[in-house]
Structure 1
Amino acid sequence: MIHSPADLVLTRRGLRVLGRYLPCSIGRGGIRRDKREGDGATPVGEHRITGMFYRPDRLAAPQPWAEPILPGDLWSDASGDPAYNSHVRAPYPASHEVLRRADPLYDIVLVTDWNEGGSPGAGSAIFLHQRRRPGYPTEGCVAFARPDLIWLAHHVPYGARLIVRR
């Protein structure tokens, strides 16, 4: 496989991007080909960065294409719901994640195209975001120390490939 310099490649050492390695955490379920909702796994594949959200009350927009996270912004994780695996707004009766969190984990969120069509049960909300602490697993996302995430958000182009292998 030929990699573009802008590709984000997940390796045992971390995420390789633009000649740097950024230490990161992955899902508690490891890396899996058969990703399912709630399994905590980071999905294998070539994914694209298709969006970015940021907290405008905590930092400036990292890219012109980044969208502010506002009160009431949510992400549907309700398998079978028509809006499954997409950005929704409160009030939203189905199961969802709150994007505007009290903690800093979602101050910057890079959205991937994993299960973009919303196939029921195939997993949702596979993001790149801030980690809790080194070595602490995610629910399937890829997570970074805040300074590394900020650097990444300023340098990753829209549509960049995130390559995840076992």
Structure 2
Amino acid sequence: MPCTVGRGGVTAQKREGDGATPAGLHRIAQCWYRPDRLPAPAPWARPIGPGDLWCDDPADPGYNLHRRAPLRASHEALRRPDPLYDVLLVIDWNWPKPLAGRGSAIFLHQWRRPGFATAGCIAVARADLLHLAAHAAPGTRLLVPPAIPRFSHARRGAVVTKV
């Protein structure tokens, strides 16, 4: 399955804001979806509401955790106007007991288009994401090798590979 990773490539030394995807053997921890746009992709999927956020501020006690609005700390809104987070799988990188600065909001989500880098997440085509969400369970393993081959159609520093 083709995928893209972070604009910083893949690293074994993930840091907040580096734009890299963390290498290693990870697990799928949670599944979230937009109930106003599609049905639950799996029985364990959680609906994304207007106030659902993910904290990316290393100084905040809720760093790299789901939070609810209002939140003064830096965060990502899980409910986006574009379809990138219509379904997202939370990867257990630096979760559920995060260490400040080790990276946050590492998700498996829909890509903008093939070859368009993420901020550190793994992104795939919508159909592939829906398939993964429907067939994966909490704890499903996800291997991100330290070196991923680049394909010729990758742009903007992205890596496109197959998982």
Counterpart residue identity of residue 24, structure 1: C
Q: For residue 161 of structure 2, what is the aligned residue in structure 1?
A: none
> Aligned partners of 1:125 and 1:118: how far apart in 2?
11
Q: For residue 74 of structure 1, what is the aligned residue in structure 2?
A: 53
Q: For residue 63 of structure 1, what is the aligned residue in structure 2?
A: 42
RMSD: 0.6
Query: 1:5-44, aligned counterparts within 5 Å?
Result: 22-44=1-23
Counterpart residue identity of residue 27, structure 1: G
Deviation at 1:156, TM superposition (A): 1.1
Q: For residue 131 of structure 1, what is the aligned residue in structure 2?
A: 111
Deviation at 1:157, TM superposition (A): 1.6
Counterpart residue identity of residue 83, structure 1: G
Counterpart residue identity of residue 13, structure 2: D
Are 2:156 and 1:145 equivalent residues in the alignment? no
Deviation at 1:77, TM superposition (A): 0.1
Instruction: Point out 4+ residue stretches in structure 1 off by more than 2 angstroms.
Output: none
> Aligned partners of 1:66 and 1:59: how far apart in 2?
12
Instruction: Specify every segment of 5 or more residues in structure 2 that has no aligned partner in the other structure, as ranges.
Output: 147-163
TM-score (norm 1): 0.86
Q: For residue 139 of structure 2, what is the aligned residue in structure 1?
A: 159
> Aligned partners of 2:28 and 2:123: how far apart in 1?
14
Counterpart residue identity of residue 83, structure 2: P
> Aligned partners of 2:7 and 2:144: how far apart in 1?
15
> Aligned partners of 2:126 and 2:77: how far apart in 1?
19
Instruction: Specify every segment of 5 or more residues in structure 1 that has no aligned partner in the other structure, as ranges.
Output: 1-21
> Aligned partners of 2:104 and 2:111: how far apart in 1?
18
Are 2:69 and 1:90 equivalent residues in the alignment? yes
Partner secondary structure for residue 143 of structure 1:
strand
> Aligned partners of 1:63 and 1:134: how far apart in 2?
25
TM-score (norm 2): 0.87
> Aligned partners of 1:152 and 1:160: how far apart in 2?
10
Same amino acid, percent of matched pairs: 63
Deviation at 1:118, TM superposition (A): 1.5
Q: For residue 18 of structure 1, what is the aligned residue in structure 2?
A: none
